[in-house]
Amino acid sequence: MPAQDLTPHLRTRLSRLERWVGIFVTLATLLVLAGLFLYIRQMAERKGWYKRKLPYFTFVDSAAGLKEGQPVKMMGFEIGQITKIEAQPPEDALYNVFVAFNVLEPYDGYLWDDSKARVVAGDFLGNRFIEVTKGSNGVATYVFHPLTEIDIDTARTHVGSGKFVFAEELLDGSKTNFLTKPGKPIDDDTLRQVEAAGIRSIQVMDKSAKSEWPTGMWVPQEGRYTNFYRGKSKGYFMPPDEQPALTERLELVANTLQEAMPNVLDLTNDLQRVLRQAANAAEEADQLLTGARPVVTNLAVITSQLTSGPGALGEWLIPTNLQGQLGFTLTNAGATLSGANVLVTNINARFGELATTLNRAIENLAGITSNLHRQVDANTNILTDVSKLIVDTDHMVQGLKRHWLLRSAFKEKKTNAPPRQSSRKAWSPKTAP
């Protein structure tokens, strides 16, 4: 029905209805747009559309289980995704597959030069994913401070300022010890060592300024940072640590089991044979124990008689008639030992008295010799007098020997002379005259 045919009252109500319908449609459209905007914003935050993405790459032997767009993880968090997977040229003998991936901020700060890209199994369907390890002791893969090359004299002007720090690893003259490392403050001692090593210029970074995107990327082979150009560099190389997929590992386990199955069957047959022999041995042992039970019973009876009661082992070794004699002998031996003990005690006392008497005699003899020594010391002419007395006595005895009255008293007695031996030589019977 045309609107002109409606009454004014109906036309007014229809216009009001159209107005509310328009408002409802407008509100619904706004709500849909707001929901779409929130969804896109959440997806952008989850995908990291507004975050900085730093490029990394690694190499694997096989791309099985990996695909572009797959998330990259670290410590259980999704920190990026794989951006490119392609095969290496045929002449490359070291690596087979090139894998590039991005890492979102701020997770790039966890990655140092000792981090690795581990390719681990994801499930039992052969899927794999890349998990990067957190750096523990090394150099940051990217730097966000301006890099510059200065000489030693210029570096001395920045000693103690804290504005510039070293941005490379420098070796001494022997090429064995590191003099600097990235992030170390500039000091006079280090500069003297660097100059002594023959180095005239050093790479430093300005800590007072920081950019949104990296200014340098670490090159382990050179031991310093190189300039990073956004969109032109393929990123930092992360050493791989590849593990085979679970399907490959299960296949390897299945092949091993298949190879070992005949041996397992032989082992079960041997085990069954051993168990059968063990059962036979147990049955024979049971029979043997059954036959040995009376012997054990008799042995128990014998041992009980040996330990107590009549016929014990003691009565076997020492009969009753010897027990009285042994007791009498032991009693006499005890009395004899007591007498010997008394005798030894008396002898010990006598020895004590004898030792005391002997000690007293020795002390008296010592007194006599001491007195004699004192008399000899007091009378120095006693030895001369004694010597003269002996000489005079000898003269007197010689005179008495020559006196006619006493000469016969000192006369020596004559003895029979020994028979005279013949001096005639013996003649042989053959040569006798």
What pLDDT, in 10s, does the model give residues 152-163? 999 999 888 888
Rg of the chain, C-alpha, whole Å: 64
| pLDDT average, residue stretch 236-248 | 79
| pLDDT average, residue stretch 41-51 | 77
pLDDT at 323: 67
Q: Rounded distance, CA 302 to CA 305, Å?
A: 5
pLDDT at 144: 93
pLDDT at 132: 95
| pLDDT average, residue stretch 47-58 | 86
- C-alpha neighbours within 13 Å on the C-beta side of residue 63: 15
β-bridge mates for residue 138, sequence order: none
Q: Rounded distance, CA 224 to CA 168, Å?
A: 4
pLDDT at 343: 78
pLDDT at 176: 83
Q: What is the DSSP letter of 25?
A: H
Residue-wise pLDDT tens digits, 250-294? 677 777 777 777 777 777 888 888 888 888 888 888 888 887 778
The pair of three-digit structure tokens given for residue 374, joined into one six-digit string? 């004192």
The closest of 219, 183, 223 to 204, measured between CA atoms, is 183
Residue 380 vs residues 307, 374, 386, 405: alpha-carbon distances, Å: 93, 10, 11, 40
Q: Rounded distance, CA 412 to CA 410, Å?
A: 6
The model scores a pTM over 0.75 = no
The closest of 221, 232, 47, 334 to 326, measured between CA atoms, is 334
Query: Counting Cβ atoms within 10 Å, is residue 289 exposed (0-12), middle (13-18) or buried (19+)?
Result: exposed
pLDDT at 64: 87
Residue 405 vs residues 121, 408, 410: alpha-carbon distances, Å: 151, 7, 10
Q: Which carries the bigger pLDDT value, residue 4 or residue 280?
A: 280
pLDDT at 54: 93
Query: Quick one: what percent of the chain has pLDDT higher than 70?
Result: 82
In the structure, how many helices (H) and strands (E) does the chain have? 7, 14
pLDDT at 214: 93
Per-residue pLDDT for 404 more than 70? no
pLDDT band for 320, please (50, 70, 90 cuts): low
pLDDT band for 21, please (50, 70, 90 cuts): confident
pLDDT at 146: 93
Measured in whole angstroms, the distance separating CA 405 from the mean position of its chain's CA atoms is: 117
The closest of 124, 128, 123, 116 to 63, measured between CA atoms, is 128
pLDDT at 433: 45
Per-residue pLDDT for 248 more than 80? no
Residue-wise pLDDT tens digits, 88-145? 999 988 889 999 999 998 898 999 999 999 998 877 777 889 999 999 888 999 999 9
- Is there a contact between 59 and 96 (Cβ–Cβ < 8 Å)? yes
The pair of three-digit structure tokens given for residue 151, joined into one six-digit string? 């000489």
Residues in the chain: 433
Identify the residue whose tokens are 């991005």.
102
Q: Rounded distance, CA 251 to CA 254, Å?
A: 5
Query: Counting Cβ atoms within 10 Å, is residue 308 exposed (0-12), middle (13-18) or buried (19+)?
Result: exposed
Most trustworthy range by pLDDT among 104-108, 397-401, 402-406: 104-108
pLDDT at 432: 47
Per-residue pLDDT for 225 more than 90? yes
Residue-wise pLDDT tens digits, 328-374? 787 887 788 887 778 778 777 777 777 787 778 788 877 887 777 77
Provide the mean pLDDT of the chain.
Answer: 81
Q: Rounded distance, CA 211 to CA 52, Å?
A: 12
Per-residue pLDDT for 422 more than 60? no
pLDDT band for 309, please (50, 70, 90 cuts): low
Query: Quick one: what percent of the chain has pLDDT higher than 90?
Result: 28
